[in-house]
């Protein structure tokens, strides 16, 4: 996008997204097969917007757009596409277009692209790269998935300890062509290639030429082990407000650098994953095929069915009581539902607190006591409300008492389950966002039905 075009664009409340009018115009151009009009419409769009466009179109229009606009295709569009769609688009692109597109990309973007592809597609892309790029990509792929090694870029701007500002600037001027596209620090290394500090470009620009680099070090300096999981990397960037950080191997030697935009991307993906997992949607996006989405959601629903059947088996123990007092069948879902909701509240707070390291071994029991207190207090309030509802609706003080007692029990249990289940899963090395919800609602359903129907059988029959 050129500056003129941006200045012409009126600021919109909708922010920067692809707007409805543009999408409509592009659809028209595709329908008319108007290659030139399409080029005019696509030209000002950022690759991320073109990726969004491809995601919003249905399969037929998408393929037509790729055919008509093949000459305009850029590598960045592939990087921005949803994983599911990426495979489809790569398979559909003519090999020469794909090769051109991939050669445009930085090596860390190629790595990101390759990770999710099948072996034949991976090889097609590797073959399209020039030798040095291919080697860099293959080296990066040797690091474990989701590690700092995969995330980092290998092009690093580094300087020895004895250099002055002037020497660093002269070096940068002399090596203009091989500098990374974006960099924010010059990393200072000792003779063993171990990073010892870094200097911001701002300091470099504003300091006298004869000043020593070591005198300009930033406090924020931290190194990242190359095998560190990317989620920990993102956490460190967020917690310590890092802009870039050198990556070191086991011997402490500089092997690459991670910048905040990569960390922001990981943070975004981690959040997305947490939200989807908490809701029982493993992965998936709107551009996946129906069969794919059905397959992704099925296992979660199946587990839910099993837990629902367990709850039903509890109810089945009390068939006799229900046959005598049908009001029990009317009221029992309320107890289960309130428990499920209260449990989900505690659970979500716990999952978030685990992710942000606010819930640790040092305060877990205090948190459990706190959640239990909250659960019991809300339980007591709703016990009174439902006791009155039960009494008024069914004119039975005993029924009112039973539902009140069951409410307190279930909200207390919900609070305990909501904290202890995710904490236990986390200790066992299972992502607490993944499985906690099912366990918690199973507990609250079973306890809710059992407490309510059991008490009712004891008191009413």
CA distance 241 to 262: 14
* 360, two tokens: 């640790």
Does position 173 interact with a copy of itself (CB under 8 A)? The reply is: yes
In angstroms, give the least distance from the CB of 63 to a copy of itself: 15
Q: What element of type H or E holds 304?
A: helix 290-316
Altogether, the residues listed in the chain come to a count of 461
Asked whether position 237 contacts a copy of itself by CB under 8 A, the answer is yes
Q: Tokens at residue 457, please?
A: 């059988």
Question: Which listed residue (46, 63, 103, 253) binds a copy of itself by CB under 8 A?
Answer: 46
Closest CB to a copy of itself among residues 128, 421: 421
**In Å, how far from its chain's centre is CA 229?**
14
Sheet holding 195-200, edge to edge: 158-160, 185-189, 195-200
Window of 15-23, 88-96, 111-119, 131-139 that interacts with a copy of itself by CB under 8 A: 15-23
382 near a copy of itself, rule: CB under 8 A: yes
Q: Which stretch binds a copy of itself (CB under 8 A): 100-108, 110-118, 119-127, 296-304?
A: 296-304
Cβ proximity to a copy of itself: between 133 and 211 the closer is 211
Return d(Cα 429, Cα 440) in angstroms, integer. Answer: 18
Give yes or no for residue 200 binding a copy of itself (CB under 8 A).
yes
Site for a copy of itself in 250-269 (CB under 8 A): 252, 260-261, 263-265, 267-268
Three-state secondary structure along 250-296?
A: CCCCEEEEEEHHHHHHHHHHHHHHHHHHHCCCCCCCCCCCHHHHHHH
| Cα–Cα dist 101/113, whole Å | 12
Binding to a copy of itself (CB under 8 A): which residues in 416-445? 441, 445
Q: Which of 77, 152, 367, 423 binds a copy of itself (CB under 8 A)?
A: 367
Question: What is the end-to-end Cα distance of the chain in Å, rounded?
Answer: 77
What part of residues 298-357 is at the interface with a copy of itself (CB under 8 A)?
Answer: 298, 300-302, 304-305, 307-309, 311-312, 315-316, 319, 322-323, 326-334, 336-338, 341-342, 344-345, 347-349, 351-353, 357
- Contact residue for a copy of itself among 197, 400, 412, 422 (CB under 8 A): 197
71 binds a copy of itself per the rule CB under 8 A: no
Q: With contacts defined by CB under 8 A, how many residues of the chain interact with a copy of itself?
A: 143
Check binding of 359 to a copy of itself (CB under 8 A).
yes
Residue of 342, 331, 323, 309 lying closest to 408 (CA atoms): 342
Minimum distance from residue 146 beta carbon to a copy of itself (Å): 14
- In contact, 343 and 417? CB cutoff 8 Å: yes
Pick the binder of a copy of itself from 293, 396, 454, 460 (CB under 8 A).
293
φ, ψ of residue 406 to 5 degrees: the values are: -60, -35
CB of 429 to a copy of itself, least distance (A): 11
Pairing state between β 195-200 and 185-189: antiparallel
Between residues 131 and 177, which has the closer beta carbon with respect to a copy of itself? 177
Under 8 Å between Cβ of 184 and 244: yes
Q: Answer yes or no whether residue 410 interacts with a copy of itself by CB under 8 A.
A: no
Read out DSSP for 29-82? HHHHT-HHHHHHHHTTS-HHHHHHHHHHS-HHHHHHHHHHTGGG--HHHHHHS-
Choice from 77, 128, 187, 196 touching a copy of itself (CB under 8 A): 196
Q: Which stretch binds a copy of itself (CB under 8 A): 67-75, 96-104, 134-142, 223-231?
A: 223-231
Cβ nearer to a copy of itself, comparing 37 with 222: 222
Task: Provide the minimum distance between the beta carbon of 327 and a copy of itself in the complex, in angstroms, as a whole number.
Answer: 8
β-pairing verdict for 185-189 and 244-248: unpaired
The answer for residues whose C-beta is within 8 angstroms of residue 286's C-beta and 6 or more apart is: 55
Residues 267-286 that bind a copy of itself (CB under 8 A): 267-268, 271-272, 274-276, 278-281, 284-286
Q: According to the binding rule CB under 8 A, does residue 153 interact with a copy of itself?
A: no
- Other C-beta atoms closer than 10 Å to the C-beta of 260 total 18
> Considering beta carbons, is residue 70 or 280 the nearer one to a copy of itself?
280
**Residue 20 binds a copy of itself, judged by CB under 8 A:** yes
């Amino acid at each position: 996008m050129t500056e003129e075009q941006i200045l012409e664009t009126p600021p919109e409340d909708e922010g920067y997204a692809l707007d409805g009018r543009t999408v409509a115009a592009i659809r028209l151009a595709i329908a008319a097969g108007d290659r030139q009009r399409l080029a005019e419409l696509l030209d000002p769009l950022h690759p991320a917007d073109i990726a969004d466009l491809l995601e919003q179109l249905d399969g037929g229009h998408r393929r037509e757009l790729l055919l008509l606009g093949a000459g305009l295709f850029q590598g960045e569009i592939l990087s921005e596409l949803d994983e599911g769609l990426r495979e489809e688009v790569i398979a559909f692109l003519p090999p020469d277009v794909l090769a051109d597109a991939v050669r445009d990309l930085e090596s860390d973007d190629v790595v990101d692209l390759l990770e999710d592809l099948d072996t034949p597609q991976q090889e097609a892309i590797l073959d399209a790269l020039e030798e040095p790029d291919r080697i860099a990509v293959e080296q990066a792929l040797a690091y474990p998935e989701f590690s700092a090694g995969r995330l980092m870029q290998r092009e690093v701007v580094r300087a020895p300890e004895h250099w002055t500002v002037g020497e660093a600037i002269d070096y940068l001027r002399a090596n203009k062509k091989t500098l990374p596209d974006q960099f924010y620090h010059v990393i200072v290394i000792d003779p063993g290639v171990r990073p010892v500090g870094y200097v911001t470009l701002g300091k470099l620009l504003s300091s006298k030429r004869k000043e020593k680099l070591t005198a300009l070090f930033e406090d924020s300096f931290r190194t990242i082990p190359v095998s560190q999981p990317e989620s920990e990397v993102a956490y460190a960037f967020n917690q310590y407000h890092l802009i870039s950080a050198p990556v070191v191997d086991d011997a402490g030697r500089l092997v690459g650098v991670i910048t905040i935009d990569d960390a922001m991307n990981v943070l975004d993906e981690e959040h997305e994953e947490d939200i989807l997992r908490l809701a029982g949607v493993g992965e998936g996006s709107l551009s996946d095929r129906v069969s794919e989405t059905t397959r992704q959601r099925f296992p979660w629903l199946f587990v839910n069915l099993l837990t629902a059947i367990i709850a039903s088996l509890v109810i089945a123990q009390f068939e006799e009581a229900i046959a005598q007092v049908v009001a029990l069948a009317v009221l029992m879902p309320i107890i289960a539902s309130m428990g499920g909701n209260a449990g989900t509240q505690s659970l979500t707070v716990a999952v978030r607190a685990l992710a942000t390291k606010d819930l640790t071994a040092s305060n877990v029991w205090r948190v459990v006591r706190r959640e239990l207190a909250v659960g019991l207090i809300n339980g007591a309030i709703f016990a009174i409300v439902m006791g009155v509802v039960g009494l008024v609706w069914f004119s039975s003080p005993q029924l009112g008492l039973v539902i009140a007692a069951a409410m307190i029990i279930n909200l207390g249990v919900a609070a305990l389950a909501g904290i202890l289940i995710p904490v236990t899963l986390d200790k066992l090395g299972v992502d607490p966002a993944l499985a906690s919800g099912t366990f918690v609602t199973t507990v609250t359903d079973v306890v809710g039905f059992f407490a309510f129907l059991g008490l009712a059988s004891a008191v009413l029959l």
